[in-house]
Structure 1
């Protein structure tokens, strides 16, 4: 798909998550952001990406 068959590239995972997030596809966005978190840690969610970590935390807590 993005020449990332193992889904381990930070850029493609963040792009995928952000795209799903913007489309309102919460489950798929959360899965992508969780993969980013698992592979790269919290520090990659800086700046404009901080919103996605906030979203993931709220999503995992089961809040609306």
Structure 2
């Protein structure tokens, strides 16, 4: 499995969501911030991964669905 495929399996839908922002710490850890949490408190700021289903999922038109 490629590192890209591993990341897709580890993170899930967030990688293709328009609301997601990747945050990298000073130590190199990666976190996936859900922007919907600012408008709707029922969404977690940093959801547990992998996210396999999400009622707030909004496909990002700039991501390749084949990734």
More strand by share: 2
More helix by share: 1
Q: TM-score, normalised by structure 1?
A: 0.26
Q: TM-score, normalised by structure 2?
A: 0.25
Question: With CA pairs under 8 Å and 6+ residues apart, which has the higher RCO, 1 or 2?
Answer: 2
**Which protein shows a greater Rg?**
2
